[in-house]
Structure 1
Amino acid sequence: MAGRDYRGMSAAERLADRRERLISAAYTLFAQPGFHATTIERLCATARISNRAFYECFSSREDLMRAVYERCIEETLRSVSEAIDMAPPTLDDRIVAGIAEYIRFVTKDVRRARLMHLEVRRAGNVLSGARQQAVASFTKVIESSARGAARTPPLDLHLLALGLIGAITELLIEWVMTEPSPPTEQLIETAVYIFRRTFSSGGPLAASAQ
């Protein structure tokens, strides 16, 4: 049976509203001061809900962190996929478009960058599965783009995609942790250089395969 309306909102709508307010509060607080420094009490105060209401929405801080992280990944994946779809159909153009969009989209909001590349690691093993799933999703994007190319690298494409993701991740951690942060365009240029050295016909992989 549906709950009675309260101030024009049903019970389901109130629950959804509280959940979104907690996600919004966590997006800011888990980024700064950070996951471990943020208590449930502070989250509830920022979201303007009771501590009891928190547990109607999430089972724990880790559960909330997972929801925020997965929201960031979903939005980033959508933006990167759209950029790749709009790029010319060559491997170079598609992957470069994806790299540039990923770095620009993530760094557009420092909270997103901190959550996706710093705080998710600090949260510990409870979020390792969510992070692994996110890496797998971005790996598939790179693999699907590369498989449509006329020429593919002479080594395992899945491992190469993982390596490229790892390089971009470390560049973004550097961007988050360093003061002043390196320019975003410099991060893109570096990641693209790594990609081209890996995938180009004149790169070290091609030479080693001869």
Structure 2
Amino acid sequence: MPERVYAGLSADERSTRRFEQFLDAGLAVFAERGWAASTVTDVCRAAGLSPRYFYELFGTREELFRAVTARIADDVRETVRRAVAAGAPGPQDRARAVLAALADWFVRDPRAVQVALVESLATPEFRRQRHELVASFSTLAARLMRPLRDEAGTHDGAGTRDGAGTRDEELATSATVLTGGLIELLMSRAGSPAPMTDEIDLDLDPLLDHLTALFTAAARM
């Protein structure tokens, strides 16, 4: 039997559109009301969709929250991919370009910070997902820092395995510390009294210069 089409969309296309509507609504509701005060009814009202569709697609409020957070992680990875693909000429320019792309993405929509980094502390399961997200940020930071270290000649390719391992461990530690500091900065700005639809109040140019200098110095220690 041919698939029935409504408003020019197939059943799968309508389902995908409803899925995205619920993700958008979940981001808005969880950021504005917080996890504890949010309900499925709130999300459905924000999405303009029936609870029937919600339970067909997600089943539980927890599943929606995890999907919202997963989309944030995917968006971050895509933001980094595009910044790297732009092909900045040197390690410092490349690191600054990635930091700039990430800062711009988070600053433009502080709801992502509120949901992925603040509301995700609400339950043990969410905290595990948050830990994985933050760990991926730290891994990214280490990847940005490694070429900065190598450019300065501090990486000895002929060194012993133990020496190389120690240097990589030190780099990973520095990356984790810097990532934690950045996350705290974003959380403090996202948690300001300004409405969640406003941009985070950060003067990006001097901040990016400072962050690039910090990453470079930490990489070359």
Aligned residue number for residue 172 of structure 1: 186
User: What code does the residue aligned with 2:190 have?
Assistant: V
Alignment partner, residue 135 of structure 1: 134
Question: Any conservation in 1 of the 2:145–2:215 contact (CA below 8 Å)?
Answer: no
Report the identity percentage: 30
- What residue is the counterpart of 1:183 in the other structure? 202
Q: What's the counterpart of residue 82 of structure 1? A: 82
CA contact (8 A) 1:77 1:138 kept: no
The separation in 2 between residues aligned to 1:96 and 1:69, in whole angstroms, is: 25
Deviation, structure 1 residue 52: 2.2
Kept in 1: contact 2:30–2:38 (CA 8 A): yes
Alpha-carbon deviation of 1:29?
A: 1.2
Residue deviations 1:134-176, cap 9 Å, x none? Answer: 2233333233333343345845222222222111101101111
1:136 and 1:34 map into 2 onto residues whose CA distance is 24
In 1, distance between residues paired with 2:203 and 2:59? 37
**Structure 2 partner of 1:203:** none
Inter-partner Cα distance in structure 1 for 2:44 and 2:101: 34
Give the root-mean-square deviation of aligned CA atoms: 2.7
| Counterparts of residues 58-77 of structure 1 (less than 5 Å) | 58-77=58-77
Change over 3 Å in CA distance of 1:152–1:94 after alignment to 2: farther
Distance 2:111 2:103 in 1: 14
Structure 1: tracts of 5 or more residues without a match:
201-205
Deviation (angstroms), 1:41: 0.6
TM-score after normalising by structure 1: 0.79
1:28 aligns with 2:48: no
How many aligned positions are there? 199
Distance in 1 (alpha carbons) for counterparts of 2:52 and 2:21: 15
The one-letter amino acid paired with 2:179 is I
Gaps of 5+ in 2: 156-166, 195-199
Larger mean CA deviation between 161-170 and 145-154 belongs to 145-154
Q: Specify the SS of the correspondent of 2:90.
A: coil
Determine the C-alpha separation between the residues in 1 that align with 2:201 and 2:13.
Answer: 43
In the alignment, the residues of structure 1 paired with residue 2 and residue 175 of structure 2 have an alpha-carbon distance, to the nearest angstrom, of 48
Q: Aligned to 2:177, which of 163, 167, 172?
A: 163
The one-letter code matched in structure 2 to 1:88 is: P
**Counterpart amino acid of 2:36?**
H
Query: CA separation of 1:23/1:99 partners in 2, compared to 1, >3 Å: closer, same or farther?
Result: same
